[in-house]
Amino acid sequence: MGAPVLQRSRPAWCHARWGLATAACVSMIVAAHAGQQPAPVRLPLPPGSTQASLGFGMRLYGMPADIRVIEIPMPVAQAAPALARHLPVLSDLGVHPGFAILSGQSAGQLWLAVLEPAGPQRARGSIAVLNAPARHEALLRAKPTWLPAGAHLHLDFSDADHGARTIHQVWTMALPRAAAARVIAERLRQDGWHPDPSHDAASRWMRGAASLDIVIVAVDGGSGILLQQHEKVRP
């Protein structure tokens, strides 16, 4: 994939303060995947809209994800309610300065749409459809062993391509940023990770053929942990 998808976060059904980060995260994931494929089953969108699939092998929260790139020929403030009218499953709508997030669930599927401006009269974004019969089990499996107890998951996205898998996750902790950084560094070493000497020791770690990029930021008195792990897929 392209550059690490760091400083990005959280799905729409979580707390509103993560809304902007969610929009950025999905946008970066979309931007990182060139060579979009035609959508296998076209979704009903407002007139003049376009859609394309990002491909196969993608997962959010451990669940198979069908992710579409979309463009709608109207501003975000108009495109969001128009999209909700064409896809009533997107019943939870939040319009914010410069972007909008829609979400909903139906028949064991979770839906998430993110829209942002692509010009004065055009919106661009994505729609993700997740098959979620075992969401809670997927959440339990998603936690890295080096994360301290009490960390809360806000985003878990992964994709597999050409024998490799990339995992993007966002977590929060009650520990302040500096304390979280110390604890995480210690636990990473205990888990067999070591700093990459060619990068900032606090941001990239290695374990065998796997690499791990980490950004820790201050969030409401605690800390947010944004990570991207790249690893080979076992045959």
Structure tokens at 218: 């201050």
Name the pLDDT band for 94 (thresholds 50, 70, 90): confident
Contact status, residue 213 vs residue 228, Cβ threshold 8 Å: yes
Name the pLDDT band for 150 (thresholds 50, 70, 90): confident
- The reported pLDDT for the residue numbered 130 is 78
Q: Which of 196, 214, 128, 211 is nearest to 165 (CA)?
A: 211
Q: Which of 228, 140, 145 is nearest to 184 (CA)?
A: 145
Give yes or no for residue 49 having a pLDDT over 60: yes
Give yes or no for residue 167 having a pLDDT over 80: yes
Q: Which range among 16-20, 178-182, 197-201, 211-215 shows the weakest confidence by mean pLDDT?
A: 16-20
Per-domain residue ranges for the chain?
16-132, 143-232
Q: Which of 221, 162, 150 is nearest to 187 (CA)?
A: 150
pTM summary value:
0.55
- The reported pLDDT for the residue numbered 6 is 31
Please compute the mean of the pLDDT values over residues 66-92 and round it to a whole number: 92
Give yes or no for residue 70 having a pLDDT over 60: yes
Residue found under tokens 């304390």: 179
Reduce the DSSP state of residue 51 to 3 states and report it.
strand
Distance CA 203, CA 163 (A): 24
Q: Which of 160, 140, 147 is nearest to 231 (CA)?
A: 160
- The reported pLDDT for the residue numbered 15 is 36
- The reported pLDDT for the residue numbered 218 is 87
- In single-letter form, the type of residue at position 168 comes to H
Distance CA 204, CA 227 (A): 10
